[in-house]
Amino acid sequence: MKTFFLFVALLFLTQKTSAQYSPYQRVDSLIGTYTQKVKNRDDLRKLWYFIYQNIYTDSLRLRAAVVWIANNIAYDVKSWQNENVEAGQLEYVLRHKKAVCGGYASLLKELCDMFKIECEVVVGRARAFERDVYLQQSKLSDNHAWNMVKINDQWRLIDPTWVSGSVSGDADDPKARFIQDFNETYYFTPPEKFILNHFPRQSRHQLLSPAINEKIFRTSPLYLESFLQTHVAVVAPVEALIKAAVGDTIVFQFKTSNLSLEMMAWSPTQKKAEYKGESVVRIDTVEFSYPVTATGFYNLFVGQVKGMRGEALLAYKLQIEPRRSAQ
């Protein structure tokens, strides 16, 4: 029986204390008290002045701007699906309180410019949906926009669209809708995490040295939000496509000194592919063996068991042949 080893390191950080969050909590509460309508640039300047008069540091003013955007601007699913470029323009966003990613990024830059905070709109490729698990294009096209801001002489990364919430369904789903839910994961995301699902057109926007090349980004597994939250880092191999046959075993190996996980793997299209199993602890590693049972070309999600369900960390594309005949 052939075995494939996918080496994954789990790096868990200690929880932040509530004291660390207290400045943000005060800002978040304050911005919630601003109820004046913002329909144009003049109204936006009134919002700027409110923040400027009540908050005294650039980092917290930036936080207030992002929170206001997340609380007041909804993702324009229909414009995204219909490729309506207007939804990326500042005037449209202020008038309709809706935006696609370019609109979110432009609005944040406008507020940063008012505060004299250095900010750039970054354009590139994001991976977020099932169709992004295995990218076969030789050259990636741009499909997303976000921001790079300079705070305390350090450039930081923010995706104001993904901070604001998520979309249930993709561009082909007529029932797709925006779910508004403030998401800290994409606020000041470490560059080594941000690059896992955001690839900027200009390499300097990665904030990494050396920069990751497009091929690595394109051929990597799909890293999900929970992956970034738990600080999981794939060691090797990093390619999304796994070729195997029924009867083979894929072994996922997680590096950790004191954590034993119950793991789960499943496919949205292949019910027979679902498997839940106990991990095996080997000194400083935890191994999860996945028996291949379903043929076909399908996505496989791998994650931790939370209650009766799995929390997906990442996804691969499996190309599975029928059982090999005995030699």
DSSP output for 183-214: -GGGBS--HHHHTTTEEESSGGGG--SSPPPH
Dump strand ranges (E) for 197-321. 198-200, 222-223, 232-236, 241-245, 249-255, 262-266, 275-278, 280-282, 285-291, 296-306, 309-321
pLDDT along the chain (327 residues), means of 10: 41 36 85 95 97 96 98 95 93 96 98 98 95 86 96 97 92 87 96 96 97 94 88 69 96 68 91 92 82 96 82 92 77
Place of tokens 């207007």: 86
The whole-number pLDDT of residue 15 equals 37
Domains and CATH numbers, the chain: 3-11+234-321 (2.60.40.10), 32-208 (3.10.620)
Q: In 68-218, which ranges are E strands?
A: 74-75, 98-99, 119-126, 144-151, 154-158, 165-168, 177-180, 198-200
| Chain-centre distance for alpha carbon 99 | 18
**The dihedral sign for the CA sequence 248, 127, 74, 64:** positive
pLDDT recorded at residue 123:
98
Q: What distance in Å separates the CA atoms of residue 272 and residue 292, rounded to the nearest whole number?
A: 9
| pLDDT given for residue 231 in this prediction | 63
Which pLDDT value is given to residue 179?
Answer: 94
CA distance 166 to 289: 32
pLDDT at 323 (0 to 100): 87
pTM across the whole model? 0.88
Q: What pLDDT, on a 0 to 100 scale, did the predictor assign at position 17?
A: 36
